[in-house]
């Protein structure tokens, strides 16, 4: 076949698709059906945004224990973190410069973690990695020079490597510096009565410091009296505290200095797209039928007589089907989203969650991603049907791995359920996620990639078999 013959082949396959009224009705109908589902979602105003979270929550948490003293002018603080309890993989122990003793005040900190090495953090979300194996015991240093705070680490206290440099802007002359310990909340899953119950529980962070020294640069005003004070905003008061003996500080704290992550929030965008996920099933059926209809009455022989290049035929079918599914999926996703918008806008959302509109890139990614998912599912179905040749077998083979991991059935533990999602085509549904939750198994685009891999492999096997077998 000449090269431009492929274009004609695609046109032929498109004609095959669009001239079966039933199939076109299904494609059009699924858009309506998914919009209907979205309507169900919004049919009541009892939309509950998050479970039991206070809506006055700011978009940061500033919970930790601070052993501090004031610093006026330029200077630095050095300490060695002798040991750190592994209360959480992201437990933090280190040095911090804080503008003032108030939640939300600007800060910069250099710290060690049990499993993520040395980090420098600031602004409730900014994070820079130091050395990967940096865990206690480790030397840390923070220097303040005007508005600029620089963090250093060292293995021995003599050779220092810079971790990061932060410009805190309009830092007052006197700031608080000192040691701090924090340990984020952990999501605990407990099984009882056959159900998994989830809760966020505080973790007890603890660390020991020694060789703590605060020094001033030459020419700076006189220091304070060098006395250490405690400032505690730990999530539970008896999890925060400090003791000192012979220059060794044992500090305990619980909480996190970071952006506020609420793992139990509803992902409103994902919910509005649930209907589209169901509409996708119709696309599965279509994908299978598009090829098995030809096998049935030997029509495939006519097709192959017209174009002996079987791989090309399958490719053309995939392109046409994928395109149609993409369009239907995009229409369905946008329709669902717009229908849900009314409630989404009026629902109480905690501040800090992204604005839900079509202009939001995250939302856009979820919508377009859904359309791409439709196309991938359709092509996957086409490929599977080409391999097994029977609609009755192909359809369940595609639908089950798509749907099953989405349902908590048999009360599977979360870790198992998450692995099911990561390894099956259900991963593709992750593209609809817009927030990170406790049950987020896989990143959105990675999930879509898993689905794409399934489709690609299936298509490859299908092409191989199509060429080998008799028509």
Partner 1 sequence: MTPLPAGRLRRAVQAEWTKLRTVPSLPWLLAAAVGLTVLGSAGSLASVDTSQCPTPSECFEDTTKLSLSGVWLGQAAVVVLGVLAMGSEYGTGTIGPTLAATPSRRLVLLAKAVAVTAVALVAGVVGVLGSLAAGRAILPGNGFTSANGYEPLSLADGPTLRAAGGTVLYLVLVGLLSLGVATAVRGTAGAITGVLALLYAFPIVAQLVSDPRWQHRLERYGPMEAGLSVQHTMRLDELSIAPWPGLGVLATYAGFALVSGLTLFLLRDA
Q: Binding residues for partner 1, per CB under 8 A? A: 37, 40-41, 43-44, 46-48, 189-194, 271, 274-275, 277-278, 281-282, 284-285, 288-289, 292, 296, 390-393, 395-396, 399-400, 403-404, 406-407, 409-413, 416
Taking the C-alpha atoms of residue 137 and residue 319, their distance in angstroms, rounded to an integer, is 58
Nearest approach, Cβ of residue 189 and partner 1 (Å): 7
Instruction: Give residue 409's Cα distance to chain centre.
Output: 23
Nearest approach, Cβ of residue 446 and partner 1 (Å): 22
Nearest approach, Cβ of residue 343 and partner 1 (Å): 9
Q: Which is nearer to partner 1, 8 or 437 (CB)?
A: 437
Nearest approach, Cβ of residue 251 and partner 1 (Å): 30
Are 66 and 232 a contacting pair, CB within 8 Å? Answer: yes
Residue 52 phi, psi (nearest 5): 65, 15
Q: Which is nearer to partner 1, 281 or 341 (CB)?
A: 281
Nearest approach, Cβ of residue 457 and partner 1 (Å): 22
The residues, any chain, with a CB within 8 Å of residue 117's CB and separated by 6 or more, are 129, 130, 131, 132, 133, 134, 135
Q: Which is nearer to partner 1, 330 or 399 (CB)?
A: 399
Q: Which is nearer to partner 1, 58 or 198 (CB)?
A: 198
Q: Using alpha carbons, list the distances in angstroms from residue 48 to 56, 178, 286.
A: 15, 41, 36
The CA angle 138-144-145, to the nearest 5 degrees, is: 140
Q: Which is nearer to partner 1, 9 or 268 (CB)?
A: 268
Beta bridge partners of 149: 144, 166
Q: Which is nearer to partner 1, 47 or 73 (CB)?
A: 47
Nearest approach, Cβ of residue 262 and partner 1 (Å): 17
Q: Which is nearer to partner 1, 179 or 282 (CB)?
A: 282
Nearest approach, Cβ of residue 45 and partner 1 (Å): 9
Q: Which is nearer to partner 1, 411 or 460 (CB)?
A: 411
Q: What is the DSSP string of 296-339?
A: HTTHHHHHHHH---HHHHHHHHHHHHHHHHHHHHHHHHHHHHHH
Helix residue ranges per DSSP H, 157-203:
none
Nearest approach, Cβ of residue 1 and partner 1 (Å): 31
The residues, any chain, with a CB within 8 Å of residue 444's CB and separated by 6 or more, are 365, 366, 369, 430, 431, 432, 433
Output the CA torsion sign for 258, 263, 265, 267. Answer: positive
Burial of 148 (0-12, 13-18, 19+ CB in 10 A): middle
């Amino acid at each position: 076949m000449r090269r431009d013959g492929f274009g004609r082949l695609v046109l032929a396959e498109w004609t095959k698709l669009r001239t079966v009224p039933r199939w076109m009705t299904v494609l059009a109908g699924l858009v309506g059906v998914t919009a209907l589902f979205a309507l169900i979602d919004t049919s009541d105003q009892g939309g509950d945004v998050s479970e039991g979270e206070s809506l006055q929550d700011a978009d940061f948490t500033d919970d930790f224990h601070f052993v501090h003293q004031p610093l006026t002018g330029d200077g630095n603080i050095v300490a060695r973190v002798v040991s750190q309890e592994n209360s959480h993989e992201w437990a933090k122990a280190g040095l911090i410069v804080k503008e003032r003793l108030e939640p939300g005040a600007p800060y910069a900190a250099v710290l060690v973690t049990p499993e993520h090495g040395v980090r420098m953090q600031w602004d409730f979300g900014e994070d820079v990695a130091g050395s990967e194996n940096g865990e206690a015991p480790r030397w840390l240093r923070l220097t303040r020079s005007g508005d600029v705070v620089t963090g250093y680490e060292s293995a021995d206290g003599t050779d220092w490597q810079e971790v990061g440099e932060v410009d805190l802007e309009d830092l007052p002359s006197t700031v608080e510096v000192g040691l701090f310990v924090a340990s984020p909340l952990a999501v605990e899953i407990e099984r009882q009565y056959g159900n998994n119950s989830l809760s966020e529980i505080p973790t007890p962070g603890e660390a020991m410091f020694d060789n703590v020294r605060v020094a001033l640069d030459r020419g700076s005003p006189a220091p304070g009296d060098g006395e250490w004070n405690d400032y505690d905003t730990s999530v539970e008061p008896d999890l925060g505290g400090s003791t000192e003996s012979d220059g060794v500080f044992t500090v305990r704290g619980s909480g996190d200095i970071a952006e506020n992550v609420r793992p139990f929030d509803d992902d409103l965008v994902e919910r509005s797209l649930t209907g589209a996920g169901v509409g996708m099933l119709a696309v599965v059926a279509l994908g299978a039928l598009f090829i098995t209809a030809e096998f049935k009455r030997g029509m495939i022989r006519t097709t192959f007589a017209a174009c002996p290049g079987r791989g090309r035929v399958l490719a053309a079918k995939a392109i046409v089907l994928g395109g149609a599914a993409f369009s239907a999926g995009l229409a369905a996703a946008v329709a669902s989203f717009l229908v849900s918008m009314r409630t989404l806008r009026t629902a109480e959302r905690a501040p800090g969650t992204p604005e839900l509109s079509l202009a939001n890139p995250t939302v856009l990614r979820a919508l377009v991603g859904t359309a791409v998912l439709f196309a991938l599912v359709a092509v996957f179905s086409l490929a599977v049907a080409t391999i097994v040749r029977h609609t009755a077998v192909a359809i369940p083979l595609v639908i089950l791995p798509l749907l099953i991991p989405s349902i908590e059935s048999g009360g599977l533990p979360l870790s198992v359920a998450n692995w099911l999602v990561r390894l099956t085509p259900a991963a593709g549904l992750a593209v609809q996620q817009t927030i990170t939750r406790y049950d987020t198994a896989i990143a959105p685009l990675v999930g879509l990639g898993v689905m794409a891999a399934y489709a690609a492999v299936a298509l490859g096997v299908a092409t191989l078999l199509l060429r080998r077998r008799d028509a």
